[in-house]
Amino acid sequence: MSVKITGNSLTLNDIWNIAYNFETIELDSNAKEKVIKCRNYVEKIINENRVVYGLTTGFGKFSTVRIQQDKIEELQENLIISHSTGVGQYLSVPETRAVMLLRINVLARGHSGICLSTLQTLIDMLNKKVHPCIPEKGSVGASGDLAPLSHLALVLLGKGKAEYQGKIVSGKLAMKKAGITPVKLKAKEGLALNNGTQVMTGVGALNLVRARNLVKQADIIAALSVDAILGTAAAFDPLIHKQRPHSGQIQSAENLRKLLAKSELNYSHKNCGNVQDAYSFRCTPQVNGAVRDALDYVQKIIEVEINSATDNPLIFPDEDKVISGGNFHGEPVAFAMDTLGMVISELGNIADRRVEQILNPALNRDLNPFLAPRPGLDSGFMIAQVTTAALVSENKVYSHPSSVDSIPTSANQEDHVSMGTIGAMKARTIIENVSLILGIELMIAIQALDLRHLPSSPPLEAVRKEIRRTVKTLKKDRFLADDINNMKRIIDSAIIIDIVREYIELG
């Protein structure tokens, strides 16, 4: 069943399924009526020869230049062609689909002045998997994502490049092969297509879903590491966390208690005299929980933004108004993406410290140094921790906020910008790095558990069994890069969350 597009009801789950699972969409009937009504109002303005920004004038610094009626359509096409200045790698197919979806959803709100036929063409492109090649660099986040969204619109015109059936081809050929007729833009349609925050928000929405999965897996992996070092679960007692009732902290501590509750290994040393572990174990709920709380803030911003009208000018037929404002400014999303990147970076930071605790013989005396099967002859996981350290350091650089920077553009007409798209791309890189870090911690924790003589809890043992289907116990030194990449694929799939949920409910 297709997802109904209303302009105000899109969810993160919808975005993920349409981006990754190629679910189809269709325009809601009420949305069609709003789009038609708004377009009719635009036509009325043009026929009355009124002076309205973006409809009968140039753009940005050229907003004072009046455009003749017979040049208005040329103006719209020139806007898209001239603004297609993006550089760098193309967005992934899922990211591109998320951007297309959000652009469609904005247009469906009925305040952009798009023709219904143009909007339907964009919907057909998404449903038939014609994916414009959108360079990821070139947006400063106001007036929204002008350059990348222009590359999206190019293919709508039968220009530019697109990914179709696994190949990069011309936009014209992709549209032809998909049986879609390119459009000829009319007044206001160029602005309706390239003005807004959909690139930073589309990438940001996918970042958020991945980040949510990472923080849940971080609890699971931390629990495995606690058992790996014969750590104590005392620090996860609810009595402690009720005295500092941050919701994320309470949830993370509860997850850790549930994960370790029936561990024979953990119970076996309950009275051993170890009253506390290093902070990277003992303070996991405080760190992972703070990440959860920060992601709640990010989610609030993204959920508002994906159902907002962010182009300019906005058209209000009922009020007989066309208002030039600033909803395209990406500051809310910019702050959210900087926050997301920073807090996910901390998941990797504390995970690297747990890895060090497991591998360092000065810190964990009852395991072989670096878990080397034959210490000296084998190096074990010594350099795997060097990899986590390198990734953590890189993340610290990427965690510097983009949103504190602004460079004036368009002859100082656009004199303050958000850099939100840069923030979204940086957050994505941090997520990639933390997926690797957590994968390495998971691999090392399970190697340590293989050396213990008692089992961990049923859910954690089920995770160990799943990992061992792909990455075998290290019995002598081997090429670990393949193992690390396999572990990242496991983390990205989030399969260990599903495995654990067969035994306990994770928050």
How do residues 106-135 score in pLDDT, each as one tens digit? 999 999 999 999 999 999 999 999 999 999
pLDDT at 54 over 80: no
Give the mean pLDDT of the chain.
95
Angle subtended at Cα 458 by Cα 454 and Cα 461, rounded to the nearest 5 degrees: 65
With CA atoms as reference, report the closest residue to 28 among 116, 111, 112. 116
Tell me, what's the pLDDT at 365? 75
Tell me, what's the pLDDT at 272? 74
- For residue 29, give the amino acid letter: S
Instruction: Note whether 59 and 143 are within 8 A (CB).
Output: no
Tell me, what's the pLDDT at 62? 67
Give residue 269's pLDDT band: very low, low, confident or very high (50, 70, 90): confident
Tell me, what's the pLDDT at 69? 74
pLDDT at 179 over 80: yes
Burial of 486 (0-12, 13-18, 19+ CB in 10 A): middle
Give residue 61's pLDDT band: very low, low, confident or very high (50, 70, 90): low
Give residue 59's pLDDT band: very low, low, confident or very high (50, 70, 90): low
pLDDT at 60 over 90: no
SS3 content of the chain, % helix, strand, coil (to 5): 60, 5, 35
The radius of gyration computed from the CA coordinates of the chain, to the nearest angstrom, equals: 26
Q: Which residue has the higher pLDDT, 161 or 44?
A: 161
Rounded to 5 degrees, φ, ψ at 285 are: -60, -35
With CA atoms as reference, report the closest residue to 255 among 265, 273, 241, 244. 241
Q: How far apart are CA 76 and CA 54, in angstroms?
A: 9
Lowest mean pLDDT among 3-7, 195-199, 360-364: 360-364
Other CB atoms within 10 A of residue 30 CB: 13
- Sign of the torsion formed by the C-alpha atoms of 465, 467, 469 and 474: negative
Instruction: Note whether 123 and 3 are within 8 A (CB).
Output: no
Q: How far apart are CA 122 and CA 152, in angstroms?
A: 10
Q: ω before 313 within 30° of 0 (cis)?
A: yes
In this prediction, residues 190-219 reach a mean pLDDT of 97
Tell me, what's the pLDDT at 422? 97
pLDDT at 264 over 80: yes
With CA atoms as reference, report the closest residue to 130 among 167, 102, 105. 167
With CA atoms as reference, report the closest residue to 220 among 466, 473, 397, 34. 466
Could you give the domains of the chain?
A: 3-196 (1.10.275.10), 204-308+336-501 (1.20.200.10)
Instruction: Note whether 41 and 315 are within 8 A (CB).
Output: yes
Give residue 202's pLDDT band: very low, low, confident or very high (50, 70, 90): very high
Q: How far apart are CA 410 and CA 378, in angstroms?
A: 60
Report percent pLDDT > 70 for the chain: 98
pTM tops 0.85: yes
Among this protein's residues, is 297 annotated catalytic? no
pLDDT at 70 over 80: no
In this prediction, residues 50-71 reach a mean pLDDT of 70
Give residue 11's pLDDT band: very low, low, confident or very high (50, 70, 90): very high
Tens-place pLDDT, residues 475-504: 999 999 999 999 999 999 999 999 999 999
Tell me, what's the pLDDT at 63? 63
Q: Which of 53, 90, 164, 398 is catalytic?
A: 53
- Sign of the torsion formed by the C-alpha atoms of 105, 106, 108 and 114: negative
CB crowding 403-441: b at 16 or more within 10 Å, else e: beebeebbeeebeebbbbbbbbbbbbebbebbbbbbbbb
DSSP label of 49:
T
Tell me, what's the pLDDT at 271? 75
Is the backbone of residue 352 left (phi > 0), alpha (psi -120 to 50) or beta? alpha
Tell me, what's the pLDDT at 414? 86
435 SS3 class: helix
Q: Which residue has the higher pLDDT, 431 or 62?
A: 431
Other CB atoms within 10 A of residue 56 CB: 22
Tell me, what's the pLDDT at 53? 73
Q: HSE-up of 112 (CA within 13 Å, CB side)?
A: 31
Tell me, what's the pLDDT at 393? 98
Residues 6+ positions from 344 with CB-CB distance below 8 Å: 211, 214, 215, 291, 427, 430, 431, 434
Instruction: Note whether 73 and 185 are within 8 A (CB).
Output: yes
Give residue 307's pLDDT band: very low, low, confident or very high (50, 70, 90): very high
Rounded to 5 degrees, φ, ψ at 115 are: -75, 140
Paired with 3 in beta bridges are 25
Tens-place pLDDT, residues 324-348: 899 999 999 999 999 999 999 999 9
Tell me, what's the pLDDT at 341? 98
Tens-place pLDDT, residues 407-464: 998 888 888 999 999 999 999 999 999 999 999 999 999 999 999 999 999 999 999 9
Give residue 219's pLDDT band: very low, low, confident or very high (50, 70, 90): very high
DSSP string, 103-122: HHHHHTTS-S---HHHHHHH
In this prediction, residues 243-270 reach a mean pLDDT of 95
Farthest-apart Cα atoms in the chain, separation: 86
Tell me, what's the pLDDT at 210? 98
